[in-house]
Amino acid sequence: MLRRIGTTGLLVIALTACAGGGGTAGATPTGGKAAPPAPAASTGAGASAAASPSQADPVARALARLSVEEKVGQLFMPVLYGTSADSSSGENQARYGAQTPAKVIARYHLGGVILFPANVKSVSQVVGLTNGLQRAAKEVPLLIATDQENGLVSRMSALMTDFPGASVIGATGEPGLARDVAKATGQELRALGVNLDFAPVADVNIDSRNPVIGQRAYGKDPQRVAKMVGAAVKGFADAGVAATAKHFPGHGDTRVDSHTGLPVIKHTKAEWERVDAPPFKAAIAAGADAVMSAHIVFPKLDPSGDPATLSKPILTGLLRQKLGFDGVISTDALNMAGVRQKYGDGEIAVRAVLAGADLLLMPNDLPKAYQAVVSAVRSGRISEQRLDQSVTRLLKLKQAKGFLAEAPAASAAEAARVLRSAEHRKLTARVESAG
């Protein structure tokens, strides 16, 4: 087994990504066989004195121990219902076929969970929840994520410091403040057991009537936004929490909300390079752990009519190959209308993987999506090599943040000390006075 609960380290990932809306998911039984144990090393005269690279590499070792079903489970990050890992919920039963969050994690071998306000009651309760979720993950520790952008989208606002949102920080013109706020946000999330934030927003809000981005962006000037995004990524890194730049290739120039419709961005390639690309380039240069896709059609980047989340030319051709990003690509929430107009829930998950996505966030029907990906791997439509690429990226992220071999354990006492500290309240005042 890879996983142990440690007494140090406070990393927990709460994956709540989406363009600002809420959502849910579902699940099905797996019945997968565990991978056979690796053979013992030979002690004969011909045995090598040095371990092979795969034996020495913790990511390779972790990957080798996972069955196909377990690997597929690592890709998924649904919403789970309840305020503790063992709390029963009819919603969990109806959507996933298991009553408690712990049983859903075990049933689908989940690699991540995203937290929403319904999961949040008190500091000690959230710490107990994230620790309990980690204990339920038998194969590999979890990414526990949330959408804590600050401002309009703040899933943990009941407990955390009320930091200013991106538009307020952007108006100061001081990237150092963006870094400081991201660091402080990350420190508070980490104390709660959350190790992944779906932030910062890297969209350039050039349409003032944009119904979904607006004040969530740092502003309308691509170069200023790029500086703020790069600084925020570094701030999250300072806190030891994974940062996610969103929503690629750029959701800033639309009057359609991708939660309820399918936006079409009419920028030329040259306009994309000038307007939309700079913040994502800055995020990548700053070491962003993840990039989230947008459910938007961008005809000049891909004429197929598919949203970017399902577009290989955009996710693999543009983000991976042109921009050189080799971190985790997360989808936006797969229960949103913008990605569900042409395909069913199972096909959406398969196409997202084929396009280049690694993390499948909040599928509308988890059982159907999970089984569709397993079947696609079994049939060869998704090669095992392609599956391994995504799982390896997810494992590398966990290794980089220090919790691949040993799951983090949050402390209620430490969280009470960090959350809404005097230092963080002073930072809030400093940003507001600089605006």
Catalytic residues: 259, 332
C-alpha to C-alpha distance for 107 and 32, rounded to whole angstroms: 10
- Pair 139, 63: CB distance under 8 Å: no
- Pair 90, 122: CB distance under 8 Å: no
Evaluated on CA atoms 175, 180, 184, 189, the torsion sign reads positive
Structure tokens at 49: 């004195």
**Ramachandran area for residue 20 (φ above 0: left; ψ -120 to 50: alpha; else beta):** left
C-alpha to C-alpha distance for 202 and 50, rounded to whole angstroms: 45
Query: What residues contact residue 22 under an 8 Å CB cut-off, 6+ apart?
Result: 79, 116
Structure tokens at 123: 């500091």
- Pair 67, 61: CB distance under 8 Å: no
Q: Which among 112, 203, 87 is positioned nearest to 153, based on CA atoms?
A: 203
- Pair 130, 192: CB distance under 8 Å: yes
C-alpha to C-alpha distance for 97 and 28, rounded to whole angstroms: 6
Can you state the angle between helices 277-285 and 222-239, rounded to 10 degrees? 30
Convert 57-82 to b/e letters by CB count within 10 Å (16 or more is b).
eebbbbbebbbbbbbbbbbbbbbbbb
